[in-house]
Amino acid sequence: MSIPRKLTTYTPFRVPRPKRLTTTFTEEESALAITNCRKHGITFGTALPILGQLGSTRLLHRRYIRGEIGKEEWEWRRIQPCNTRGPIDYRRYLDKDWYANGGSEVVVLGISYFFHTHFFMPSVSDEWIAHNRNVLEDDAPPFSTLLSQGRFVLRSNTIKRQFKEFLTHPLLFEIASARLPTGQPFRRQAGRLWMRIHEGGELDEPEKHVPSVLTDDIIYHNGGSSMGNASIISPLIFRILADNVLE
């Protein structure tokens, strides 16, 4: 969702600096989360997009309350639908003999992606902020204020329904076959331009700032996994090579 979303004509061709914050749940916390999901008839994979939306929503509230986001941008962000994507495991659909005899070593071949759009971000009014600054948690409204348990389950069930409809679509494999190659030319172009910049080469034209963050382009609010077994979507050796190149 790009914070603070300062864009230029060369933003798509720059490798961002990754920042990672890792949190580990205890076995008891994990078991409780799975138990509660089962209790409400949802899976963790369908709850994850809503959890991600709540997290980024609180980040936006925090920036708005601190004055780091203007009123116009805030009102625009509040009404935007939230887009999420994540990998789906297609391996169970592949030829089992081929998969057992070396097919599992083919990188990313058994993975496609699930793209879905869900509700606008939950938010509180300016009046609520003015009267409840004393109950803010980490300078943002509490989770329970932003979204009740009932609304959380409703949104998770919406994701669950979309996911089921996608997997049962009669053109499931055709969709994957048509979608994946479309990004290859752009990635190749971006990679070549990045290499030129990295080696001190000149740009084709001067870099220009994109004047407004309020556009009609699709912005992915967050991304995640757990829509299937994605444990070997990116083997460790490829991650190591990528990290070495970026350094």
Neighbours of 63 (CB within 10 A): 18
Domain membership of residue 190 (yes or no) is yes
Number of domains in the chain: 1
Nearest CA among 72, 242, 40, 52 for reference residue 160: 40
Domain membership of residue 229 (yes or no) is no
Domain membership of residue 6 (yes or no) is no
Q: What pLDDT does residue 129 have?
A: 92
Domain membership of residue 149 (yes or no) is yes
Residue 247 pLDDT > 70: no
Domain membership of residue 57 (yes or no) is yes
Domain membership of residue 27 (yes or no) is yes
Any residues with CB less than 8 A from the CB of 104 and at least 6 apart, and which? Answer: 91, 110, 232
Residue 196 pLDDT > 50: yes
Q: What pLDDT does residue 230 have?
A: 41
**DSSP bridge partners of 155:** none
Domain membership of residue 127 (yes or no) is yes
Nearest CA among 34, 19, 26, 45 for reference residue 167: 45
Nearest CA among 89, 68, 96 for reference residue 5: 68
In this prediction, residue 212 has a pLDDT band, given cuts at 50, 70 and 90, of low
Q: Does the model's pTM come out above 0.95?
A: no
Its domain, for residue 46, covers 11-85+117-218
Give the alpha-carbon dihedral of 116, 4, 127, 48, to 10 degrees: 30
Domain membership of residue 90 (yes or no) is no
Mean pLDDT for 48-68 is 89
Q: What is the mean pLDDT of the chain?
A: 77
